[in-house]
Structure 1
Amino acid sequence: MRHRFFLSIAILLLVSGIACTSRPTPESAQEVAEPTMYEPTWTSLGQYECPDWFRDAKFGIWAHSSPQDVPMQGDWYARNLYVPGHENYEYHLAHYGHPSAVGYKDLCRQWTLDQWSPEKLMQLYRRAGARYFVALANHHCNFDTWNSAEQPWNAVNVGPKRDVIGEWQQAATAQGIRFGVSVHNINTWGWYLPAFRSDSAGPKAGVPYDGVLTKADGEGQWWEGLDPQQLYGPAQRASDTIPTEAFVQNWYDRVKDLLDHYHPDLLYFDSYIMGQSWRQFTYHGGSTYAGIDDATKARIERTPFKEAGIDIITYYYNQNPTWHGGQQEAVLNLKLHDLNDSVPERYKKGMVIDRELGGFGGGEQEMQAYPWQKDRPFGGWHYNEHAEYPTTQSVIWNLVDVVSKNGNLLLGMPMRPNGTLNETELTFLQEMGDWMEVHGEGIYGTRPWKTFGDEETVRYTQKGDTVYAFVKGNHADVLLPDFSDEKVNSLRMLGYPDTLSWQQDAAGLHVTIPARRGKEDVIALKVEL
């Protein structure tokens, strides 16, 4: 593939650049070890080590925002508006019109962000405790939120007419927050199939949806000069289960463009880049791909995404040190279905595995040997005016639980289409920040202890000779049996000025806890060993 040729050239240039660079002298600068130059093999990528900044940061916020926020009806609207019988289809008919005339392309124009202030939002996110921030570069809807050189359907050309990724990056840098981006459009190929169909009954039966439109159809329209096929993907038949070489190359080129211009320290992929594509089609295609046979699965496993995926990881790992004076700071997140033994060891070593909350199987019940990440939305992935929100204390406990098991929590924070947060979100950020201000020392910069916790109400983190025991619930007396063989020198409760009553015996550490507000409250005991 063309991208593999350019990858080889890039590696040669980087190696040459490093060889020709004089080493810093002890008098002028601290000497930095030369970064590893990776090859596109798992043996090479297995040398990767997760940088300390990510392991120390623990908590990130994710602006999961795109034109799909416009109807304020939640995630996957861009697909489901083309699915008769779906509530999004019915909503679209009532508020915008039939998808043969008004489709997702037209919603892209209505994504205004006219009240969006990334600087103010980033201040709120940092105050809430976030130490890294991730912005949605594109979703399955295939709309790029940056000044994309490879996708004309982008936020600079259509909608807000702003470089959303660029402005987020500047705001994060100003707040001293690590910046990341998430890329999801690898799913576009199968995800958008409904846009090429039509109603099977009713007055519009047989009238194709706007997914079939071409650039020529735009003459005299607001989107004149743009090609809907570049948004929805090429016209597809149900049998076209393998993405074309051109589609994969465009994906690679767009990711490379994103990396080259915005230098993110975290790059998140929403599954499938390592050859799991058959799952993509059974998952998104419904009955169209149900019962796919093993031979077809094997054929799809040979998708060029496998090669493009490992190539872009290699490119990212080799470029990142050039942005940081030779220091490797890259974090590559790949969302997989679980964290158990079915995940190849090479994946766990070569990147930071991500697991979406609630969507997939287990694995988070145990402490993980490698750093990992859990992502979850606050309310919903895209803005939904009917969303139900978790309590602040439940998010706090989720964070504590994940950190105790060697992970980070990435929390999605959807915005209205005008770029603002609602009152529930603002209240949450305030409450989260209040808690982190008191308890953050037991979160940031910690590592797992010898065990992650005790039953369902206690979780541990460690920093040097200090163990932090996080306790959930309004308990008057707590027994921590994991301290039965430890020598405890002192103990106090974070945020509580008075001395606690405690004693240690063969059963463990007995602590009397002051009365608290409710059963969900999470406190932290600082135990010096």
Structure 2
Amino acid sequence: MKRRTLLRGMAGMIPALWTARHVNAAALLENALPGEQMIQGPFQPSWQSLKQYQVPEWFRDAKFGIWAHWGPQCQPEHGDWYARSMYQEGSDSYKYHLQKYGHPSKFGFKDVINEWKAENWDPDYLLSLYKKAGARYFVALANHHDNFDNYNSKYQPWNAVNLGPKKDLIDGWAKAARKHELLFGVSVHASHAWTWYEPAQMADKKGPLAGVPYDGKITKAAGKNTWWNGYDPQDLYAQNHPLSAKAEGWDAFNQQWSWGGGASKPSKAYCEKFFNRTVDLINRYEPDLLYFDDTVLPLWPISDAGLRIAAHFYNSSIKRHGSLQAVLNGKILNEEQRQCMVWDIERGQSHQIEPYVWQTDTCIGSWHYDRRVYDKQGYKSAKTVIHTLADIVSKNGNLLLSVPLRGDGTIDDAELAIVEGIGAWMQHNSEAIFGTRPWKIYGEGPAIEEAAPLKAQGFNEGKGKPFGPEDIRFTAKADSLYAIVLGTPADGKVRIKSLAAGSSYYPTAIARTELLGYGPVNVERTAEALVVQLPDSLPGQDALCVKILQA
């Protein structure tokens, strides 16, 4: 008999037990039920109820966060989605895995986890660095599609306290973030492990080990006399189920990302385990922000687990703070859903001032550390990050920037230089970013006309015309307007067409104009533009911030 069936049978017996032994029946049943309980409050697990949501002011003011997208897939230092692509015969990761570790039937991703020790991880140093770079919030990876929890998980035995680093990584990140007065968030990606790991069920189609299954369906019984004795690999891989209609290939999985297109439907037990893991994470570490790497919410629409988590997260925030201070990120949201949480765009930007606060998440390299990006000097520059930030903030958005960590928990010297470059710019110009709001228009310049459209959850980053000194982005605060110039004009003059004499956008007189990091500058307001004469010595070349105060 299944446990839940047994409990239902017990419920029918409770009145008799209560009469005979004076047992509190409700308490007995509640204590017997497995799993986490939702905190009660004004939010219920429905879209109508979640529409009460209001973005907290701290997030509207923060504008810039840094993310440690760091877990066991960083150990091979061979890029994103390693734990899936290592099982795809002939792929780059498969070939690398054969060379570095051996065949995935003998050395699977579970064994990569055992290699990961995070031995040089120093969260205090990293959070100090990110604070100097101007980050106002920090997000840590709680789990990825690889299904490994980077915290002391009550419901997932494959976690960083039991295995791998044998450290509570989320606890370390949370303590360091709060020490440095950064708001703290966690990102959760594990809902997709059910289909994401499906290649691990397969086997080579050719070669000496053709037909020999990879380790995706291996069970606890096979662990005798191994390092993982006592642990069930199915708690990690979750592959004791039939394959999806399209189980092979990168595009096949993406087509089934929203639990359609023939995707294998997760069991109720899988969905409830995800709910329990995530609620336990919320209760244990009290994050201010919860990022979901899902279409809308995890497991939606095949399960209401995501809706229940959202209601619990909001109600727990109210209970803890006395008001709602939580931020929940979701992707590919319709208009109603954008009222219920903060819309997140992956590696892309909106093309307009959005009515609701939103966020871009992107990375300076590969999501999981990739040594090849470092070797080829392929990171985004500090200049690119600054231009991206200015564009996003001008449109009512925030930027969450991932800085990849190596398997041992360190950042490399090239990444350090980029983070320090962002900080150097922020030192002079953060006034034009933090606490600002969109102006009447977000900007001007040639890049606007050649912006690339959004695709799926984003992915229009870097596909439009590059920014230049004619591209300007506007932000506003109190009686100040900021014009962020995305380059340095060759003739030493910034021309802001939207502030020309007689402009309907700025009909009032200008009292004073300053260049942040320098001081007052001379201007001429003509019928064509507000012309700003730049000084010979500039505070920085990546982006110049002109502050305009009205008379």
Settle same-fold status: TM greater than 0.5: yes
Q: Is residue 2:514 matched to residue 1:492?
A: yes
Matches of 2:439 and 2:215, distance apart in 1:
55
Q: Is residue 2:329 matched to residue 1:308?
A: no
User: C-alpha deviations, 1:403-428, integer Å up to 9, x for none?
Assistant: 00000000011111111110011111
Matches of 2:354 and 2:402, distance apart in 1:
23
Q: Is residue 2:484 matched to residue 1:467?
A: no
Partner of 1:442 in structure 2? 432
Matches of 1:189 and 1:154, distance apart in 2:
17
Report the residue type matching 1:496 in the other structure: Y
User: C-alpha deviations, 1:9-61, integer Å up to 9, x for none?
Assistant: 745xx45xxxxxxxxxxxxxxxxxxxxx1122222111111001011110000
Report the residue type matching 1:492 in the other structure: E
Two-structure CA RMSD over aligned residues (Å): 2.1
Gaps of 5+ in 1: 16-36, 278-300, 337-342
Matches of 2:418 and 2:148, distance apart in 1:
29
- The correspondence of residues 414-453 of structure 1 with structure 2, limited to 5 A, is 414-453=404-443
CA-CA distance at 1:509 after TM superposition: 1.5
Further displaced range: 515-524 or 438-447? 515-524
- Of residues 368, 384, 405, the one that matches 1:382 is 368
Report the residue type matching 2:302 in the other structure: T
Q: Are 1:259 and 1:316, in contact at CA under 8 Å, matched by a contact in 2?
A: yes
**Alignment TM-score, normalising by the size of structure 2:** 0.81
Matches of 1:318 and 1:266, distance apart in 2:
13
Cα distance change, pair 496–79 in 1 and its aligned pair in 2 (3 A):
same
SS in 1 for 2:295: coil
Gaps of 5+ in 2: 5-29, 245-262, 448-470
CA-CA distance at 1:507 after TM superposition: 3.1
- The correspondence of residues 346-365 of structure 1 with structure 2, limited to 5 A, is 346-358=336-348, 364-365=350-351
Which aligned segments of 4 or more residues in structure 1 are displaced greater than 6 angstroms?
Answer: 5-9, 516-520
Q: Is residue 2:357 matched to residue 1:395?
A: no
- Of residues 270, 274, 288, the one that matches 1:251 is 274
CA-CA distance at 1:238 after TM superposition: 2.2
Partner of 1:293 in structure 2? none
SS in 1 for 2:336: helix
Cα distance change, pair 447–302 in 1 and its aligned pair in 2 (3 A):
closer
Further displaced range: 104-113 or 510-519? 510-519
Q: Are 1:394 and 1:520, in contact at CA under 8 Å, matched by a contact in 2?
A: no
CA-CA distance at 1:380 after TM superposition: 1.2
Report the residue type matching 1:470 in the other structure: I
Q: Aligned pairs, how many?
A: 466
Report the residue type matching 1:389 in the other structure: Y
Q: Are 1:474 and 1:519, in contact at CA under 8 Å, matched by a contact in 2?
A: no
Q: Is residue 2:406 matched to residue 1:412?
A: no
Further displaced range: 239-248 or 216-225? 239-248
CA-CA distance at 1:176 after TM superposition: 0.3
Further displaced range: 451-460 or 162-171? 451-460
Matches of 2:282 and 2:301, distance apart in 1:
26
CA-CA distance at 1:241 after TM superposition: 1.3
CA-CA distance at 1:479 after TM superposition: 2.1
Cα distance change, pair 6–219 in 1 and its aligned pair in 2 (3 A):
closer
Partner of 2:183 in structure 1? 178
Matches of 1:474 and 1:44, distance apart in 2:
49
Q: Are 2:72 and 2:112, in contact at CA under 8 Å, matched by a contact in 1?
A: yes
Matches of 2:539 and 2:425, distance apart in 1:
15
Matches of 2:398 and 2:435, distance apart in 1:
11
CA-CA distance at 1:8 after TM superposition: 12
- Of residues 307, 318, 323, the one that matches 1:327 is 323
Q: Are 1:69 and 1:415, in contact at CA under 8 Å, matched by a contact in 2?
A: yes
Report the residue type matching 1:376 in the other structure: T
